[in-house]
């Protein structure tokens, strides 16, 4: 299949799962070696889960199917440019590349405006609208030290 065909699949998922109005119009497909590994669509309202975006759902399914948390060698095809949360998850999952059809500006014109989130993520903790309070406890650093010295740790 071509890049356009994988993107068409993501768009079809977005259309099919949003036509009843219960899901947002977003779809995603993860591909490895020219084979579709997983698909996802926005299920925020349906699952009452603000993290149930199409890309997140596709990543969860791909990791489960491939029995790994590392999706190197995979590509993500999304109906729309990923939001900051999904983009972060894509980086954590180590996907190689993202292809998307609509831009975040297209999404904003339909009421899905993530610009505020982009700004908040880039702001220093003390400048964010949600108050972030650092309470330094010595045990917090110790947990990382213990983890670093653990020969059985699984790095990711």
Q: Mind telling me the catalytic residues?
A: 55
Nearest to 28 by CA among 91, 93, 108, 100: 100
Strand partners, 97: 75
E strand or H helix at 101, and its extent? strand 97-102
CB atoms within 10 A of CB 88: 13
Give exposure, 101-121, as e/b (b: 16+ Cβ within 10 Å): bbebeebeeeebebeeeeeee
CA distances from 120 to 31, 83, 105, 130 (A): 31, 12, 17, 9
């Amino acid at each position: 299949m071509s890049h356009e065909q994988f993107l068409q699949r993501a768009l079809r998922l977005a259309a099919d799962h949003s036509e009843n109005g219960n899901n947002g119009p977003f779809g995603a497909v993860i591909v490895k070696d020219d084979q579709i590994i997983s698909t996802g669509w926005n299920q925020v309202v349906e699952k009452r889960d603000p993290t149930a975006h199409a890309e997140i759902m596709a990543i969860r399914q791909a990791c489960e199917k491939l029995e790994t948390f590392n999706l190197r060698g995979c590509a993500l095809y999304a109906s729309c440019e990923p939001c900051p949360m999904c983009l972060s998850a894509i980086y954590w999952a180590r996907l190689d590349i993202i292809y998307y059809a609509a831009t975040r500006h297209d999404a904003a014109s339909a009421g899905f405006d993530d610009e505020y989130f982009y700004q908040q993520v880039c702001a220093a903790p003390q400048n964010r609208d949600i108050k972030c309070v650092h309470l330094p406890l010595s045990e917090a650093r110790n947990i990382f030290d213990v983890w670093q010295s653990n020969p059985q740790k699984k790095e990711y």
